[in-house]
């Protein structure tokens, strides 16, 4: 493999990870504030639940936002795991990346007037990363076991 191929491979592994971290930090500011997300989540909730009281819609909005935390960091963990393909203990390193980004994200939110940082969100973010990494490690091990089994004829 020549240098150009190696460089392209490195970019293709790491670019999605860094882009996703950028998306997380964009949403960490005003882009992910309750006021901003209610512009599209609110109308969807009202469409699907036209008779629901505003308090119920607010609760659903809250849970959708928390599910977004979990999902965003699960995706981050998977992208980190993919990027660190050549490293030993890449699941642990990926989890460290998730923890660092989650901590920085919540610290950033603590200083944003439209957001608030919460340690509970860091734990939620970590749980998304852990769930994704457990899933990928379990499936990777299953695939390894299946490849090592003798084929039945």
* Residue 41 falls inside a structural domain: yes
* Residue 134 falls inside a structural domain: yes
Residue 14, class by beta-carbon neighbours within 10 Å (0-12 exposed, 13-18 middle, 19+ buried)?
middle
* Residue 93 falls inside a structural domain: yes
Residue 48 has pLDDT above 80, yes or no: yes
Q: For 76-91, what is the mean pLDDT?
A: 95
* Residue 55 falls inside a structural domain: yes
* Residue 74 falls inside a structural domain: yes
* Residue 153 falls inside a structural domain: no
Name every residue whose Cβ is closer than 8 Å to that of residue 46 and which is 6 or more positions away in sequence.
52, 57
Tally of structural domains, the chain: 1
Residues of the domain holding 72? 3-148
* Residue 9 falls inside a structural domain: yes
Round the average pLDDT of the chain to a whole number and report it: 90
CA distance 72 to 78: 10
pLDDT at 141: 83
| pLDDT tens-digit series, residues 52-78 | 999 999 999 999 999 999 999 999 999
Q: Tokens 């699907």 correspond to what residue?
A: 48
* Residue 11 falls inside a structural domain: yes
pTM value surpassing 0.75: yes
| pLDDT-based confidence at residue 150 (cuts at 50, 70, 90) | low
CB 70 within 8 A of CB 124: yes
């Amino acid at each position: 493999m020549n240098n150009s191929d190696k460089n392209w491979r490195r970019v293709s592994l790491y670019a999605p990870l860094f882009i996703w971290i950028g998306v997380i930090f964009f949403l960490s500011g005003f882009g992910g504030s309750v006021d901003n997300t209610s512009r599209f989540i609110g109308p969807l909730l009202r469409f699907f639940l036209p008779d629901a009281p505003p308090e119920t819609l607010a609760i659903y909005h809250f849970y959708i936002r928390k599910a977004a935390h979990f999902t965003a960091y699960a995706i981050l963990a998977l992208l980190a795991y993919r990027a660190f393909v050549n490293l030993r203990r890449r699941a642990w390193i990926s989890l460290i990346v998730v923890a660092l980004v989650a901590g920085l994200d919540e610290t950033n939110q603590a200083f944003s007037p439209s957001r608030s940082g919460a340690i509970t969100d860091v734990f939620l973010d970590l749980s998304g990363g852990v769930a994704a990494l457990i899933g990928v490690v379990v499936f990777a091990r299953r695939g390894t076991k299946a490849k090592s089994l003798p084929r039945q004829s």
